[in-house]
Amino acid sequence: MFNIVQVKGDDAGGYYGTQANYYLGGEAPSNWVGQGAAAIGLKGPVDPAAFTQLMNGEVPKPGSDPVRVLSGVRKGWDMTISAPKWASVLITLGEDKRLASHWQTAAKRAFDYVERFATYRETVKGVTRDVVGAKLIGGAFLHDANRNNEPSIHVHMVASAIGVTKAGKLRAVDLQHAYKHAKLIGQYVHANFAHTARRDGYQVGLDEKGMAVLENAPEGLSAVSEALSTRRDEVRAEIDRLGVATRQGEVAVVRATREAKSPDTVDLLEHAKAVAEAKGFGPDQIRALVPDTRLPLKEAMAARVDGALPGFVAKTLAEQSGKTPEGSASTRTGEAPGLARRLVRLAGAAINEIWAQMTDQSRSTDRYARTGYPAPQLSDSGPRPDVFRPPEDYPATRLAARHELAYQIRRVSERQAAFTLHDVVLPTLIAGLNEDLPGVIETQVLGAARDFVSEGLLVVGRDRKSLYTATGLELEREQRIHEHTERGKGQSVPVLAPDRAQRAIHAYEVDAHKLTDGQRQLVTAILSSKDRFVSVQGVAGT
C-alpha cells in the first residue's frame, strides 16, 4: 500500500526519527534520501534535529545557522509504504531480514520515481510555470509495528516541502502527481518487491489489484496474518461505517483512528509468537517457509541482468552479424572491439524483424490479444500499418521498452483519448518487473516515451497543473472528424423541425423511458440539423 499525506505541525519532524523498532530490534534505521539532500550535503543516517529543522521550513547548514525557506503550514509529505502482512510475519517471526531489505529498496525506487516528476514554480519574464525536475530533500524511516503494536513492516519516505531547483536554488516543491497516481505507484512498489523476492526463492506474484501475494501460502500463515491484522480491521470497519468512497478519505480515516504506540509494558515479539502458536502455526513453521538461499531459482534469477537485451533480440542481431550473441564469452567488447560498431551498423536491417518477432510473441498471449494491433483508422482498407513500429536506426537496447510501452498506450487509449504519462509508464514498468522482461526498465521506458514524443506519436499538453498526453493517431482522427463535420455543414435536410422533434421525443418517453435533459437536446439537434454530420461530445455512459 502507498499512502501520501501532508505533514503538518511544529513537532512533525520529531516523530519519525525517534521511534524504536520492537521486532527488528534497536532504533528505527533511517537515511537521507533525494538528490536535493545530497546537493546540500545531507548523507547517511538522518540526524533527528536536522530533520526537525527541515520539516519546520529551515535548511540545516553545518557550522552555521539554518536558512529559513518556508513559513507555511505545509511541512512536507509522508509517503507511507506498507508491506503485505504475510511479508511482515515472515520478516519478524520468520526472521528473514532479506525481505525487509527488499521492501526498503522497493520503497526507495518509488521515491525516486516520485522525485523524477516533482515540480517547482519558476517565473521568467513575468510568466510563471511549473518546472518538472525538482530535487527532493527527505528521509527514509523503516518501522516494524502498526498502531496496535502488531508486526507491520512499513517505510516512511518523508519529503520536505523544500527542494532544490535545476539551478541549485532552494524552492518550494509540489508532489501533486503522487496524489493522483498513488494506486499505480503502490503497484509499482509491490512489483519491485515481488521481483526481488523471487530471486530469494519465494514464489511471489501480483493479484488482480497489483498487490504482492505469496503463492501457495499455507492456511496457517494466512491465519496468523489475519490474527495480527486487528489494526487493518479497525480501519476497514470505520471506513464502512462512514461510507468513505475515496482514497484520500481512507487515508484520513487511518490518521483519525490511530493512537500513540505504547509498547513499554508488553514484550511485543513474544506476544506475536504466542498469537502464532495459538493459531497452530508457530515461529518454527513460519521459519520453515523461508527458502534456502542456495535454491537454483535464486541463482538463476540473480544471474539475469536487469536492462539486458531480450534473448531473441540479441540472437537476431548476432545472426545478422554472423557472430554469437552479444555478451557471450567470445564476443565481449574487450575481446572484439569492432563488434559493437558492426552490430550498430547491422541493427537497422534487423530492427523490423525483431519488432515483428516481439509482436508475434505478444499476440500469442491472452494479455495482448485483448488489444488491437494497431488502433483502427476511420476509413482504411487492407492491412493497417503498425504506427508504433520503430525507425530502422532505432536503438536495439530500447526495443523491448518501446514495445511494452506501445501496448500500454493502446490499452489506455482504447478508453480515453488523453491520459497522463504516468498512466502508461507505470504499467509498463510494472509489467517489466512482473513478466521479467529484460530491457523494460525505467531509463529505457522513459527514453521510449521521449522517442514517441519526438516522432509525433505522443503529443504532450497541459491541463491545469497536470501534464497529459494523447497519441498522434487519436489527434489525427479527431482532426479528420472535424474536417468531415465542417464540409458537411448545411449540406442536408432536417429530418424533423425542432417542435416536431420534441413531440416525437415526448411520445417516445411515454412508451419507453424518460431521457435526461442532455439526451433530449442531443436528439433534437440531430433530428433538426441541416448539417450532414453532427459532432457530439459526451461522457461515458451517456
Pick the more confident residue, 419 or 105. 105
**Which tens digit of pLDDT belongs to each residue from 32-57?**
999 999 999 999 998 888 888 888 88
Identify the pLDDT of residue 285.
92
Considering only residues 326 and 192, tell me which one the structure prediction assigns the higher pLDDT: 192
User: Contact 173/114 with Cβ under 8 angstroms?
Assistant: no
> Are the C-beta atoms of 350 and 320 separated by less than 8 Å?
yes
> What is the average per-residue pLDDT within 252-276?
64
* DSSP annotation of 123: E
Decide: residue 328, CB within 10 A, 0-12 exposed, 13-18 middle, 19+ buried.
Answer: exposed
Asked whether 7 and 77 are in contact (CB, 8 A), the reply is: yes
Distance CA 469, CA 453 (A): 9
Q: Given a cut of 50, is residue 328 above it in pLDDT?
A: no
Closest CA to 441 of 306, 243, 345, 337: 306
Instruction: Supply the pLDDT for residue 265.
Output: 35
Determine the pLDDT at residue 23.
58
Q: Give the pLDDT score at 91.
A: 93
Confidence of residue 240 (pLDDT cuts 50, 70, 90): low
Cell of 393: 536506426
Is residue 83's pLDDT more than 90? yes
Going by the DSSP 8-state scheme, the letter that residue 305 receives in this structure is P
**Rounded to 5°, angle at Cα 19 from 14 and 22:** 175
Percentage above 70 pLDDT, the chain:
70
User: Does residue 406 carry a pLDDT above 50?
Assistant: yes
Helices 97-116 and 85-92: crossing angle in degrees, nearest 10, is: 130
Determine the average pLDDT of the residues in 166-173. 93
Instruction: Supply 21's cell numbers.
Output: 523498532
Sign of the Cα torsion 277, 280, 284, 285 reads negative
* Of residues 115 and 353, more confidently modeled: 115
Calculate mean pLDDT across residues 404-408.
Answer: 92
Exposed/middle/buried for 129, CB within 10 Å: 0-12, 13-18, 19+? exposed
Q: Write out the three cell numbers for 186.
A: 503502490
Encoded amino acid at 70, one letter? L
C-alpha cell at 158: 518523508
Please tell me the predicted confidence (pLDDT) of residue 298: 46
Q: What is the mean pLDDT of residues 334-342?
A: 46
Q: Where are the domains of the chain?
A: 2-270, 311-472, 488-542
Residues 6+ apart with CB under 8 A from 342: 321
Average pLDDT, the chain: 79
- If one counts every other C-beta atom within 10 angstroms of the C-beta of residue 318, the result is 20
Strand partners, 460: 469
In this predicted structure, the answer to whether residue 496 has a pLDDT above a threshold of 80 is yes
Return the sign of the alpha-carbon dihedral for residues 247, 250, 252, 255: negative
CB neighbour class for 104 (10 Å; exposed up to 12, middle 13-18, buried from 19): buried
pTM, whole model, 2 decimals?
Answer: 0.77
pLDDT of residue 241: 66
Q: What is d(CA 346, CA 306) in angstroms, rounded to the nearest whole number?
A: 24
Quote the CA–CA distance of 379 and 39 in Å, as a whole number: 55
Lowest mean pLDDT among 63-72, 115-124, 163-172, 197-206: 63-72
pLDDT of residue 540: 54
Q: Per-residue pLDDT tens for 424-451?
A: 999 999 999 998 888 899 999 999 999 9
Q: In this predicted structure, what is the pLDDT of residue 66?
A: 75
| C-alpha span between 287 and 94 (Å, rounded) | 4
**With bands split at pLDDT 50, 70 and 90, how would you rate the model's confidence at 183?**
very high
Q: 450, exposed or middle or buried, with CB in 10 Å at 0-12, 13-18, 19+?
A: exposed
Rounded CA separation 255/262 (Å):
17
